[in-house]
């Protein structure tokens, strides 16, 4: 497995673990599948902000359900609350001894990562001796590396490549935690060294990475470098990063006006450089169709969406047609419409992000902004071979706008039995910022028609009618949606911009769902 593949696997494991999620015991999500009687009480207790009240409630649950299947989870929450309430670093270290390096499996190693994160996130950490904090974390890092070489750690990870990836995950996660500890101890240059090692090992360059880098550069007096790092962290809403970037912007430029424009410009930049597609001299005329089902309320969709944005930059439309469908997963999305619902049902999509390449290559899974370069490479690896295939049909397409009506003229050299011929209205960019933080959405599907090429060579989209249909769809959704009581859209994105529109025309086998060919035309 290459270092790039390692990096993608490591990122998929989630470096968020390094920032303090409990690694001991089964997660509530896992336990939810059984839903024992005490499940709701455990879930409610886990949301109590005050550690003393949380500890009291979990002790009550423990006494009330002495034979609970969730006892390991309950004990873990009790232990975490006790650590949170510990008055000193020595008290924290003493409590952590209970779970460090215990048992069999990956937890033998990840327990040290959990412990290091608990120290840095402790409510009283600023009162701890900073040199001792750093020493404790570096000792935990060493112990974790040792555990990662122990056969007992890998009883539940049988494959050698997965073991190596897991060890690299731990190493990278500890580099991030170590960098934070070095900054806490006043050793900014050592933090930069740790971050450089993390980056060289293929770690995800996400908001945490850039926020820590900004802190290190700022403490070293490198204000320009710190500003750039904070600005990149602010794109992903890293806590406090926007304020720090804004402060440095004002200091460096001597003014406050213009920061919002600088942040927006950074938001439009991809966090990686997409490798441009180089067509072969013997290209046979096949354009691949890449479809993504996403949601503006879906955090893991960020990596996939930005991976698709890279595809748009890397491939001329002659070789790749891109369609983006917005779905109410995991929460309502104001860019959804009847066409996105129809296409969701066609493929049987029930999670976001879901990517479909040429109708038959379906993958699920996304990631953070820092993982988007890896997602781009994943999609590119699936797309490139398909561009070399011979198309089953040859398509032609042109489109124009007159008033509120888009007219698309299309043709196919042959009509293939059992084939759907589909014309799609696409908006090149829609601006909306949902909870996942992405403000710019590309190639958003607005409407869709399935046509019979033997009966007509023309498709029309009445934009006003499409807007009314979408608005009615959103209204009906509000009436029938039950996951959020009395839900109403704060914004409705039913209006279709009259500029920046495209039409995509493709032929798709009805049985196999394989795309026979696709073509894109800007609306003039």
- Chain centre distance of CA 36: 31
**Cβ-proximal residues to 335 (8 Å cutoff; 6+ apart), any chain:** 296, 326, 430, 432, 441, 444, 493
Q: Residue 206's pLDDT is what?
A: 84
155 pLDDT more than 50 = yes
At 51, give phi and psi (nearest 5°). Answer: -65, -40
Residue range 119-153, pLDDT digits in tens: 999 999 999 999 999 999 999 999 999 998 888 88
Q: Residue 34's pLDDT is what?
A: 57
Segment 404-433 shows an average pLDDT of 95
Which of 196, 199, 191 lies closest to 217 in space, CA to CA? 191
Q: Looking up tokens 């709701």, which residue turns up?
A: 40
Dihedral of CA 20/13/295/483: which sign? negative
Contact 395, 412 (CB under 8 A): yes
Instruction: Please state, in angstroms and rounded to a whole number, the distance separating the CA atoms of residues 58 and 64.
Output: 10
Contact 335, 301 (CB under 8 A): no
Residue range 48-70, pLDDT digits in tens: 999 999 999 999 999 999 999 99
Instruction: Please state, in angstroms and rounded to a whole number, the distance separating the CA atoms of residues 76 and 36.
Output: 17
Residue range 68-89, pLDDT digits in tens: 999 989 999 999 999 999 999 9
In the chain, domain spans: 3-203, 205-269, 288-522
Contact 119, 137 (CB under 8 A): yes
240 pLDDT more than 60 = yes
Q: What topology does CATH give the domain 288-522?
A: Immunoglobulin-like (2.60.40)
Residue range 453-471, pLDDT digits in tens: 888 899 999 999 999 999 9
First to last CA, the chain: 47
Q: Hey, how many other C-beta atoms are within 10 angstroms of the C-beta on 222?
A: 16
| pTM score, whole prediction | 0.75
Q: Residue 163's pLDDT is what?
A: 86
Q: Indicate the helix (H) or strand (E) that contains 144.
A: helix 130-147
> Left, alpha or beta for 521 (phi > 0: left; psi -120 to 50: alpha)?
beta
Cα maximum dimension of the chain: 81
């Amino acid at each position: 497995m290459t270092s790039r593949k390692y990096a993608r696997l490591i990122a998929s494991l989630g470096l968020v673990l390094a920032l303090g999620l409990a690694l001991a015991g089964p997660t509530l999500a896992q336990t939810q599948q059984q839903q024992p009687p005490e499940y709701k009480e455990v879930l409610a207790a886990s949301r109590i902000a005050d550690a003393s009240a949380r500890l009291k409630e979990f002790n009550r649950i423990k006494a009330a359900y002495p034979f609970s299947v969730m006892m390991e989870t309950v004990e873990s929450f009790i232990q975490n609350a006790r650590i949170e309430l510990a008055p000193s670093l020595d008290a924290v270290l003493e409590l952590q001894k209970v779970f460090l390096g215990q048992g069999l499996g990956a937890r033998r190693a990840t327990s040290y990562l959990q412990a290091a994160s608990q120290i840095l996130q402790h409510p009283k950490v600023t009162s701890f001796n900073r040199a001792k904090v750093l020493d404790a974390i570096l000792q935990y890092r060493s112990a974790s590396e040792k555990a990662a070489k122990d056969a007992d750690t890998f009883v539940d990870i049988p494959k050698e490549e997965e073991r190596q990836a897991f060890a690299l995950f731990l190493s990278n996660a500890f580099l991030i935690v170590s960098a934070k500890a070095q900054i806490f101890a006043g050793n900014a240059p050592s933090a930069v060294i740790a971050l450089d090692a993390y980056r060289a090992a293929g770690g995800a360059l996400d908001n945490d990475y850039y926020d820590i880098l900004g802190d290190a550069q700022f403490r070293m007096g490198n204000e320009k470098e710190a500003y750039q790092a904070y600005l990149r962290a602010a794109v992903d809403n890293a806590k406090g990063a926007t304020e720090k970037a804004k402060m440095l912007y004002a200091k460096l430029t001597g003014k406050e006006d213009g920061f919002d424009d600088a942040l927006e410009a950074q938001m439009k930049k991809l966090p990686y450089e997409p490798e441009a597609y180089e067509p072969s001299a013997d290209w046979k005329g096949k354009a691949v169709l890449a479809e993504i089902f996403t949601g503006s309320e879906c955090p893991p969709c960020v990596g996939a969406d930005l991976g698709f944005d890279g595809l748009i930059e890397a491939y001329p439309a002659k070789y790749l047609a891109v369609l983006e469908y917005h779905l109410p997963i995991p929460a309502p999305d104001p860019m959804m419409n009847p066409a996105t619902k129809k296409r969701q049902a066609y493929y049987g999509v029930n999670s976001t992000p879901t990517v479909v390449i040429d109708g038959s290559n379906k993958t699920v899974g996304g990631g953070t902004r820092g993982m988007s370069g890896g997602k781009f490479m994943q999609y590119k690896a699936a797309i490139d071979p398909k561009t070399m295939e011979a198309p089953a049909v040859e398509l032609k397409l042109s489109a124009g706008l007159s008033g509120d009506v888009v007219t698309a003229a299309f043709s196919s050299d042959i009509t293939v039995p059992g084939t759907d011929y589909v014309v799609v209205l696409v908006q090149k960019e829609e601006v909306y910022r949902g909870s996942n933080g992405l403000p710019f959405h590309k190639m958003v599907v607005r409407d869709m028609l399935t046509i019979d090429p033997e009966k007509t060579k023309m498709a029309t989209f009445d934009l006003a009618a499409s807007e009314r249909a979408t608005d009615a769809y959103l209204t009906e959704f509000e009436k029938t949606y039950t996951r959020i009581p009395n839900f109403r859209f704060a914004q409705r994105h039913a209006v279709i911009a009259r500029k920046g529109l495209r039409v995509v025309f493709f032929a798709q086998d009805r049985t196999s769902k394989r795309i026979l060919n696709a073509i894109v035309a800007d609306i003039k």
